[in-house]
Chains A and B, each alone.
Chain A
Amino acid sequence: MDILMPQLGETVTEGKITTWFKSVGDAVKPGDNLFEIETDKVTMEVPATNAGFLTEIMVLAGAVAPVGAVVAVVGEAGGNRSAAAPVAASAPKPAAAPAGRPAVGFIAPVPTAVQKPSGPMDPFFEVRTPARNHGPAQIAGGTYVTPLARRLASESGIDLSRIKGSGPRGRIVAHDIETAAQSGTGRAAMPAGPSAAQVIAMYRDTPYEEVPLDGMRKTIATRLVQAKGTIPHFYLTADIDIDNLLAMREDANASAPKGADGKPAYKLSLNDFVIKAWAAALKRIPDANAVWAEDRILRFQQADIGVAVAIEGGLLTPVIRHADAKSVGAIAADMRDFAERARERKLKPTEYQGGSSAISNLGMYGVREFAAIINPPHATILAVGASRRQAVEKADGSVGFISQMSATVSYDHRVIDGALGAQLLAAFRGFMEQPVTMLV
């Protein structure tokens, strides 16, 4: 058992051991004097209360120990509790514990396993201090931030260093965080990439041509960084059997009336059917025919589909209005017109703004499947791959070939949850696989 420096009066905090009456290894029995202590008030002998052997002396004669400190150990014969050096008389205060020494020896003994009374009343813990810290009151640069603003910022992932405070003396207040959250300006920055100078330095030994950014490239850069950085994207992919669709397209194109110049009145592309099917799917699943407006969602009756058109130096996304109500032929006519004028950069802003969803088709480049970045404020974008011949197991167990394409839809999870997204994709697949249903 541990022998402690006893309490020798209410105001006494430490005692000096003047003499040890026993040496390590000596047998002790209750009543035997172990050591003598001296305080500023008294000198007294301290007897043993248990029988055993003095196995360790931790505070040597001449040293001072605080009340409650372990000064010696009485145990079984030969027992050795620790190899720590005893506190020597030269040590001014034993409170400066040698490294590695268990600190518990200098703490007043506390009853172990004290059971706290159960129930709501605990007068010592009646204050419910917030469990989480939301960062310092003053951020780098010296700006102060109110506690509420700090909490709101940490909860909504706003980077305080990007916020300008409107409060007294430039303090950032809750209102500033709310404004920033709405505009998206204060969103935590992506880890910044290397600067222009760094990149140029990196390639100084490699010949290159410098291409200045034009307006379109800048717009694409900002909007897609914003889209990819702020929209919680998720993606669903489906393989679609397009045998029926290809047959229908072939029939339609073969029976197109010819004009005076001998040219057919129309030539429907696979993409025209994709636009029609996607519009029909959005019309079928109206909850998914929606856009994100920061503090609300806007849902539409009509499906206006933006279609990405690659042009020299970038891309444009003209919008086929009322695509759900248009015939495939009308969609084809719109697309031909839009594509021509897009390449000449002659589209009017009203023709490429808005829409409730978009389509990006890279099938003509042989891309099997890909995931597109949502074009805000849209909540979806459909990415279409190339049609291919695919071996599949037929109903009778034999293997045969069908025409198949893969479609991946990107969703904004703020607007559309997984199940709803799956319904939308299933509807699209249904229209594509049974194209006649688009006509009813």
Chain B
Amino acid sequence: MTRELTKPLPRNWWLKKAAYFRFMMRELTSVAVLAYTLLIVWTLGSAANSGGFSTLYAFLSTSLSVSLHVVILALALYHTGTWIALTPKVMVLWRDDERVDPDFIAGVTGISFLMITGATIWLVLM
């Protein structure tokens, strides 16, 4: 019986290749978005219960809060981009016997995302 060598994956495998790093960032950004969502729900709940929305508004206009939201926005956009890129992999459409161009599907998904986001912002600011 020959002895076979097995080489376990090192703990820092995701630092060994740019593609692995981008994958890990995609996964971690989802954690950040979830954490932010929970924080917002908790903050709004606390403010509503204590009737202290003015304190919340004051915090939201600080440079710390603005910086935090810029970072969260960047993470959320990165994560969204990965899903838009994934869409044509899952949504394989055919026009007669010809596959619809994956870039077209990703483009339509991206434009839809921008339009829905724009409409949501418009509704909130109205």
A-B complex is real: no
Question: Which residues of A pack against B, CB within 8 Å?
Answer: none
Question: Which residues of B pack against A, CB within 8 Å?
Answer: none
